[in-house]
Structure 1
Amino acid sequence: MTTAIVAGGGFYGAMIAAYLKTRRGVGTVRLFEAAPELLGRASLVNQARVHSGYHYPRSFTTAYRSRVNYPRFVEAFGEATTPFQAVYALARRNSKVTPRQMERFCADIGAPLDPAPPQVARLFDPRLVAQAYLVEESAFDAAKLARAAERLLRDAGVEVRTGLEVTSVEAAPDGLTVAAGGEHHPAGVVFNCTYARLQRLAGPEAPPFGLKHEITELALVRPPPEFEGLGVTVMDGPFFSCMPFPARGLHSLSHVRYTPHLSWAEAGERDPYAVLDAYAKESRVDRMLRDAARYAPGLARSTVEGSLFTVKTVLTANEGDDGRPILFRRHGHEGRVFSVLGGKIDNVFDVLERLEAEELPA
């Protein structure tokens, strides 16, 4: 049977590798990750929100798929998730969604939406916030999720190697040759799950994926007692989100305006992670907190504990509607290469369902 190599040990790469071994019966599956550990980059440095649809009122498909996949994710990885009360507050000005539109949207995707009770509503400045809603969501602990992924791969019999970066995929007489860390490995099929390096590894034969990279800052804060265990998102526009970050026992703070520090369209000339390493990481958390406190004044009493910087990669086609579709392309070398870019961690099940329809090379 064929040998499959998965390049990239983030959550999507790990789940695809386990799927190939357990569901598709691939004889040998190898997972190569450039970093020293699995789930250590994009899977770690993000809001850790398990989306349940509320965050995407301008992208029905993204929201609906989140609504479908939310319970599946929580059931599969319950030991790595923590439920919390989430507040979605709509700004009076510069919001792209009104309360009426939000309520209709939630009804359409089947998402419960209740007005926040008085003790929660009073956390916001009524001059700037038109309506606040209280819902239940979950956050994942990236460290626990990594352990769950490692266990899944081990039980499936996937060969995992970390500290080994895949640098090229070339045609061979009987399939493909994968270069990684000075080694060369034969493969019948390759799954490119390298996230920010997706286009670079796909090579010149692959069509442009239309990617945009951002150097982003995720601030970590300890909120005052009234926000402990509570997630707050002011939407839908140039606002902020402050929510539990279980991996550190803190809250993450991100802001639409201040979280992205630098952005550029993918053209293949720069390694995004090299750009990240060279970037002067000067925090903007003071500006994030100052603006957040306009809407939720109590957040001004938060204690700053640090920041995490990473590369965020998105599709330029969805900048207008804020959607997060999954990029799934089969290309090159007689269709033996799959390039996959996950939009959100909870929608990995959509990729696995898509793979069910694909015939793998012998």
Structure 2
Amino acid sequence: MSETDFDAVIIGGGFYGCAIAIYLAKNRGFKRVLLVERESSLLLRASYNNQARVHNGYHYPRSFTTAYRSRLNLPKFVRDWPEAVNQEFTKLYAISRRNSKVTAKQFVRFCTDIGAEIQTADPAMRKLFEPRLIEDVYLVKEYAFNSTLIANKARLELLESGVDLLLDTQVASISKATSGELSIAICDTGGERKVLSSRYIFNCSYSGINQLKGDFPGVKTELKQEITEMALMKMPAPLADLGITVMDGPFFSLMPFPAKGLHTLSHVRYTPHLQWRDEPGISPYEKLSDYPRISQVDRMVRDVSRYLPSLSKAQYVESLFEVKTILMKNESDDGRPILFEKYEDLPRCFSILGGKIDNIYDVLEKLDAEHLD
């Protein structure tokens, strides 16, 4: 038995970090697994501050691979996290007559190609939309997730799997130890610093993925960071049991947000507030902390109400601000592949990032193919 402290250390207690820690303990036989999270609880950052959408492919007509993988992964997510999946709403996709990158005919053909259920919405639902601006409206099959319930289940599974958990703790650096293992410098909120050793490290810190010092070389894939705003709204009666997305271009989505019993409202133009190229030393956490967080919800509501008049009666409650991390190579096609990197100069260290919650199964497939001692 090695004298290392852990078989694996996972950095980041979001959904990906939790799922990977559970996978290593349950599926790969790792006995000493540590999950380190900088916040006071699990799934408090990007895993919470988002649309809470379980994708089924419809959102990606310009990226067949992303769409098709969502179609394959949705039933797996429903199987594994059933208590956290909300299916009790009607989901509509509408195609704009102007400025859309797909027509209604193209959208239907795309859904057929990926095997996604779609049918023309009934007249009552179509009446919700301004017909001069909307070409067609479709009833689809898409779900929402409750991140609070996912966090509760993840915490129980980590405990049952014997995974150790360190909260309120930051990882400062990763270095090669003289023993051939990896050393991890950590610091808690009280300022106490420790150095741990591990055979494997999985860097799942999302927006902080590039902010580790020591021998960590930085991720090879170019990343963009965005400060985004999700407006939480109480919907008027006609929209209360609906999720709606208008496609495909500078448009919007409203989705149930089960963790608070509200809806998120997001807009392609107004949800992003501030953007920058990700680089080591530019802390996304500090950027977000210093940002004034002035809501653009009025602009969202004003534009969305042109397409969906009843939204003008929605009540604004609050906004969720977060840093969103995007692979720059996929900005043009809106694809959302996973980032999965290994490093020759830092063996047994992996960096992992995904843009959607269902992408976790793409990560687990990658890990299945890895020879992990």
Task: Give the Cα–Cα distance (whole angstroms) in 2 for the partners of residues 207 and 30 of structure 1.
Answer: 22
What are the Cα deviations for residues 277-324 of structure 1, in whole angstroms up to 9, with x where unaligned? 000110000000110001001100000011110100010100000010
The answer for the alignment partner of 2:159 in structure 1 is: 154
Task: Give the Cα–Cα distance (whole angstroms) in 1 for the partners of residues 107 and 61 of structure 2.
Answer: 7
Task: Give the Cα–Cα distance (whole angstroms) in 1 for the partners of residues 38 and 281 of structure 2.
Answer: 19
Task: Give the Cα–Cα distance (whole angstroms) in 1 for the partners of residues 216 and 13 of structure 2.
Answer: 23
Asked if 1:65 is matched to 2:69, the reply is yes
The TM-score, its normalising length taken from structure 1, stands at: 0.97
Q: How many residues align?
A: 361
The answer for the alignment partner of 2:130 in structure 1 is: 125
Whether contact under 8 Å (2:224, 2:327) holds in the other structure is yes
The answer for the alignment partner of 1:342 in structure 2 is: 354
Q: CA deviation at 1:205?
A: 2.3
Asked if 1:40 is matched to 2:50, the reply is no
Task: Give the Cα–Cα distance (whole angstroms) in 2 for the partners of residues 312 and 178 of structure 1.
Answer: 26
Change (3 A) 1:76 1:282: same
The answer for the alignment partner of 1:179 in structure 2 is: 185
Q: Secondary structure at the match of 1:217?
A: strand
2:275 to 257, 263, 287: 263
What are the Cα deviations for residues 75-103 of structure 1, in whole angstroms up to 9, with x where unaligned? 11110111121110000000001111111
Task: Give the Cα–Cα distance (whole angstroms) in 1 for the partners of residues 44 and 114 of structure 2.
Answer: 32
Asked if 1:192 is matched to 2:203, the reply is yes
The answer for the alignment partner of 1:307 in structure 2 is: 319
Q: CA deviation at 1:332?
A: 4.6
What are the Cα deviations for residues 36-65 of structure 1, in whole angstroms up to 9, with x where unaligned? 111100000000000011111111011101
The answer for the alignment partner of 1:10 in structure 2 is: 14
What are the Cα deviations for residues 105-141 of structure 1, in whole angstroms up to 9, with x where unaligned? 1111100110110000010001000011011221111
Whether contact under 8 Å (1:206, 1:332) holds in the other structure is no
Q: Secondary structure at the match of 1:188?
A: strand
Which has the higher mean CA deviation after the structures are superposed, 13-22 or 193-202? 193-202
2:171 to 166, 169, 183: 166
Whether contact under 8 Å (2:119, 2:139) holds in the other structure is yes
The answer for the alignment partner of 2:251 in structure 1 is: 239
Whether contact under 8 Å (1:242, 1:253) holds in the other structure is yes
What are the Cα deviations for residues 247-292 of structure 1, in whole angstroms up to 9, with x where unaligned? 1100100000000000000122310011000001100000001100
Asked if 1:223 is matched to 2:243, the reply is no
Q: Secondary structure at the match of 2:105?
A: helix
The answer for the alignment partner of 2:145 in structure 1 is: 140
Task: Give the Cα–Cα distance (whole angstroms) in 2 for the partners of residues 160 and 269 of structure 1.
Answer: 26
The TM-score, its normalising length taken from structure 2, stands at: 0.95
Which 4+ stretches in 1 moved above 3 angstroms? Answer: none
Q: Secondary structure at the match of 1:257?
A: coil
AA matched with 1:123: L
What are the Cα deviations for residues 310-344 of structure 1, in whole angstroms up to 9, with x where unaligned? 10001010000001000000115442110000121
Question: What is the root-mean-square deviation of aligned Cα atoms in Å?
Answer: 1.2
The answer for the alignment partner of 2:190 in structure 1 is: none
**What pairs with 1:92-103 in structure 2 (closer than 5 Å)?**
92-103=97-108
What are the Cα deviations for residues 1-23 of structure 1, in whole angstroms up to 9, with x where unaligned? 66100000000000001111111
Task: Give the Cα–Cα distance (whole angstroms) in 1 for the partners of residues 278 and 223 of structure 2.
Answer: 5
Task: Give the Cα–Cα distance (whole angstroms) in 2 for the partners of residues 344 and 23 of structure 1.
Answer: 22
Task: Give the Cα–Cα distance (whole angstroms) in 2 for the partners of residues 27 and 47 of structure 1.
Answer: 35
Q: Secondary structure at the match of 1:282?
A: coil
Q: Secondary structure at the match of 2:142?
A: strand
Change (3 A) 1:206 1:271: closer
The answer for the alignment partner of 2:60 in structure 1 is: 56
AA matched with 2:119: D
AA matched with 2:302: R
The answer for the alignment partner of 2:289 in structure 1 is: 277
Extract unaligned runs of 5+ from structure 2. Answer: 188-192
Asked if 1:115 is matched to 2:120, the reply is yes
Q: CA deviation at 1:206?
A: 3.8
**What pairs with 1:308-323 in structure 2 (closer than 5 Å)?**
308-323=320-335
What are the Cα deviations for residues 158-185 of structure 1, in whole angstroms up to 9, with x where unaligned? 1111111111100002201101111111
Q: CA deviation at 1:204?
A: 5.4
The answer for the alignment partner of 2:371 in structure 1 is: 359
Task: Give the Cα–Cα distance (whole angstroms) in 1 for the partners of residues 182 and 220 of structure 2.
Answer: 21
Q: Secondary structure at the match of 1:151?
A: helix
Extract unaligned runs of 5+ from structure 1. Answer: none
Whether contact under 8 Å (1:90, 1:129) holds in the other structure is yes
Task: Give the Cα–Cα distance (whole angstroms) in 2 for the partners of residues 151 and 80 of structure 1.
Answer: 14
AA matched with 1:188: R
Q: Secondary structure at the match of 1:103?
A: helix
